[in-house]
Structure 1
Amino acid sequence: MKNDLASFNWVAAAADVVPDAAVQNGTRPDLTLAITRGASRLLTDMGFALVPEFTLPNGRRADLAGLSRKGRIVIVEVKSCREDFTADAKWPSYLEYCDQFYFATDTRFPAGLLPEGEGRIVADAYGGAIIADAEVRTLAGSRRKAMTLSFARQAAFRLTV
């Protein structure tokens, strides 16, 4: 599930997507959107169906949730800057609802802030690369069934609204 970061020429350009002056309330909205788009493109290329802003059973919303052809569930939390990461302590509550968890950042994000064992995707608006594999947690069958049903329902409701 790992991609070679060196094979992506666009990664070096990701540092200039949004100037530091664009930081608003601890986040960079344009950069967040670009990272989300790139991570989405990567996961789609890997065969995942995606639902952005996926509501979990605990009421939290994951930035991206992916469902593989084999039913594996991946959650991605997008972080645009240090302040975005340090102000948000809810990501551990996502772990019980996925087989793998990734942070998606740009190239300038200080990787030392991220906890060990969780995956990292580096992305910009054009694509992404997995540069740290996520720990594999296997969901219990009943949790997987409930999450898959929730995934299907949330995706279907977005098509009908």
Structure 2
Amino acid sequence: MSELPPIVDLRQSQTALKVQRGVMRLLRQTYDMCCFAEVPLANGRRADVLGVGPKGEIWIVEIKSSLVDFQVDRKWPNYKDFCDRFFFAKPPELDPDIFPAEEGLIVADGHDGAVLRHAPETPLAPARRKALMLKLVRLGADRIHTLMDPGPK
């Protein structure tokens, strides 16, 4: 078995971790989504937050904690092939006008979040959805197992 990715990437800034918590609370409480943090994708990228809705819909949220964070990161289009909806998430103090108008946008802090702009729906191909769902089931089970038994793998 390969090394599990972290549940929380502690290399992230405190701002990014707060935004992550607020995004996950928003998706869970408002949209009834189950959320995963730090999800490795088949293209080698890692989604900050991936939510799965009650009908199997998949949203990916890319967290940007500062203007510089957004300016230097041009990998975000690579996430769109792995979700039905793609959002950026930002802290309250970051200007929303820096984000592309055609993408979804969430504002969040350590307590909750709100959708400022809904993302357009671009449904996943059935084969990719199935592969991603299998990956998520295994990832979730492995993370729970690691929490229950952090001993040797």
Fold equivalence (TM over 0.5): yes
* CA–CA distance in structure 2, aligned partners of residues 106 and 29 of structure 1: 12
Q: Is 2:28 the partner of 1:44?
A: yes
Q: Is 2:14 the partner of 1:30?
A: yes
What does residue 75 of structure 2 align with? Answer: 90
Q: Does the CA-based 8 Å contact 1:28-1:81 persist in structure 2?
A: no
* CA–CA distance in structure 2, aligned partners of residues 65 and 150 of structure 1: 12
Which digits, 9 at most, give the CA deviation of each residue in 1:31-61, with x for residues without a partner?
1111111001000112111110001111110
Deviation for aligned residue 1:116: 2.0
Deviation for aligned residue 1:114: 0.8
Normalising by structure 2, what TM-score? 0.85
State percent identity of aligned pairs. Answer: 41
Q: Is 2:98 the partner of 1:113?
A: yes
* CA–CA distance in structure 2, aligned partners of residues 92 and 156 of structure 1: 28
Normalising by structure 1, what TM-score? 0.81
Runs ≥4 in structure 1, deviation > 3 angstroms?
none
Change (3 A) 1:28 1:151: closer
Q: Is 2:109 the partner of 1:124?
A: yes
* CA–CA distance in structure 2, aligned partners of residues 28 and 59 of structure 1: 18
Gaps of 5+ in 1: 1-26
Which digits, 9 at most, give the CA deviation of each residue in 1:103-145, with x for residues without a partner?
1101221222211221111011110000100011011111111
Q: Is 2:122 the partner of 1:159?
A: no
The one-letter amino acid paired with 2:44 is G
* CA–CA distance in structure 1, aligned partners of residues 12 and 136 of structure 2: 28
Q: Does the CA-based 8 Å contact 1:43-1:66 persist in structure 2?
A: yes
Deviation for aligned residue 1:30: 1.2
Bigger RCO of structures 1 and 2 (CA < 8 A, at least 6 apart): 1
